[in-house]
Every structure is written in C-alpha cells, then in structure tokens.
Amino acid sequence: MVKLANPFYYPVAVFIGGVSLFVGVRFLRLPSLVIIPVAVGITVAGASFFNSREPQYLELNNPELELEINNVKVSALALVNQANELQLEAKKLLTDAFQLELLAGIQMSGDRLVEIPGKIDNLVWNINGNNSLLSVDTLQKQLQEVKQKIQSSSGVAKQHWQQLADSLQRNIKLTKEGEDTRLARIINIYTLIQDSAGLLQRLQTKIRNSDLSDSEQINGMILLSDELNSLTENLDLLVRK
C-alpha cells in the first residue's frame, strides 16, 4: 500500500505537477477549478510514488545493534569479493586431477558465501522493533541441528560446531529470561565473517606461493578448505530467518 507523502520533499513531483498545470491551462484551456485539483493530485501521487521507491528505515531501538549490523553488511560484501577473487584464481591455477578436490571445496565455500549478504538483509528486516531475534523453539531446532553436526564431524570442524552450540545455548538462556539476543547473534555472525575472511586470505596466499605440483602441499590446502567450509556452514545457519 502506497502512503501519502509531502510533495515538498520531492522536487521532481512538484515539477511534474507544475508542468501538468501549465499544459492544462495554456494548451488544453481547462478551467482552473478542474486543472488545479488534477495538478495537485498528480503532484501528491508523484511524491507518494517516489516515497515508495525509497528504502525503508530500520527501527532497531538499539544504536549498538545498528552499528554492528552496518559492520556486518560491509564485512559480508568484502567477504564476497574476496571469495570471488579466490574462486577465479583457483579455476585458473588448479587444473590437474589431484587438485580437483581442493578446487571443488573452494567453489563450494565461495558459492555459499555469495548468498550471505542477501540473507543478512532478510535477517535484519526480521529484527525490526523490540522483538527477540528468534523464538526459543527456533533456537532449539538450530541447536539440535548443530548437535547432529558435532556427532558427524571431527577435528577443527567439530570445534567450530561446538562453539556455535555453546553460543546457541547462551542465546536460549537469554531468550527464556526475556533478554534481547539480537546483538549477540549479529556479533556471532560478524565473528564468523572475520574468521572466514582470514581463512580465505590464507588459502589465497598458499595457492599463490605453494608448489601446486606437490600433493602434500595440496593436501594441506584441502584441510584449510574443509575448515572454511565448516565456517561457512556455521555462518549460513546463523543468517537463516
């Protein structure tokens, strides 16, 4: 539904209304009692249209949360650029058969990361106002999913999932106590973005500087790629609605 807007905030709408008034009086020779209301209506309709095209504003009622959300959005876009750059380099340099596992891992992580900014935008619009970010039931479902990941994981991946489980358990406790968990959730997302950016940088540096004909070095990079995939799975879980 389009809301009425003040035309004086939209000079283009005022200009269009003025032109319609001029044309109606000068060329169509309509009486002023007819053309003036029409011109006003055109102006108001134009202002309302331009208003509807403007982005909505968040009502977070929490300056710290708003600041962290802005940091997350900027970091997520930078992460996508970094992931795209790594994907392009990997496609160019990793062409031998024994390198394909590494290439596939990098492509998988990159494809998942490209979707993160859009998911963050959707998430942010769902935390307007004073409502808690997620219900206890939703958090518990996420926790159950993470626990299943812990059972099927090992090494660094298992460590990442355990950290996420601990965070979800804290948020469940806070939600039950009536606390606003939005800030904690956004900070967790920001932390995972920074960790992912660090792993992307390490992978990119190794791909550029390693002997790519050495299977041992490739295996070391596969381990890094697996760790990155674990982090991106964590991140994807947190940015779901």
pLDDT in tens, 1-24: 445 555 555 566 666 767 777 677
DSSP 56: P
pLDDT at 137 over 80: no
pLDDT confidence of residue 179: 66
The mean pLDDT of 59-88, rounded to a whole number, is 84
Q: Are 114 and 80 in contact (CB under 8 A)?
A: yes
Secondary structure of residue 33 in the 3-state scheme? helix
The pLDDT, as a whole number, for residue 13 is 63
User: Does the structure show a pLDDT above 80 at 132?
Assistant: no
- Higher-pLDDT residue of 155 and 169 is 169
pLDDT for 85 beyond 70: yes
**Average pLDDT for residues 189-218, to the nearest whole number?**
90
**Which of 44-53, 87-96, 133-142 has the highest mean predicted lDDT (pLDDT)?**
87-96
Residue bearing the bigger pLDDT, 216 or 167: 216
23: Cα within 13 Å, side-chain hemisphere? 9
Interatomic CA distance for residues 160 and 149, integer angstroms: 10
**Rounded mean pLDDT, 222-232:** 90
Alpha helices for 97-181 (secondary structure H): 100-114, 116-125, 136-152, 155-176
CA distances, 187 to each of 107, 123, 132, 193, 194 (Å) = 26, 14, 15, 10, 11
CB count within 10 Å of CB 212 equals 19
User: pLDDT value at position 55?
Assistant: 46
Note whether 39 and 17 are within 8 A (CB): yes
Q: Is the pLDDT assigned to residue 50 strictly greater than 60?
A: no
Location of structure tokens 């990155």: 228
The pLDDT value recorded for residue 183 is 78
pLDDT at 134 over 70: no
CA angle 89, 90, 92 (to 5 degrees): 65
CB 199 within 8 A of CB 231: yes
C-alpha separations of 84 from 93, 115, 157 in Å = 14, 12, 23
User: What's the number of CA atoms in the CB half-sphere (13 Å) around residue 219?
Assistant: 3
**pLDDT score for 54:** 44
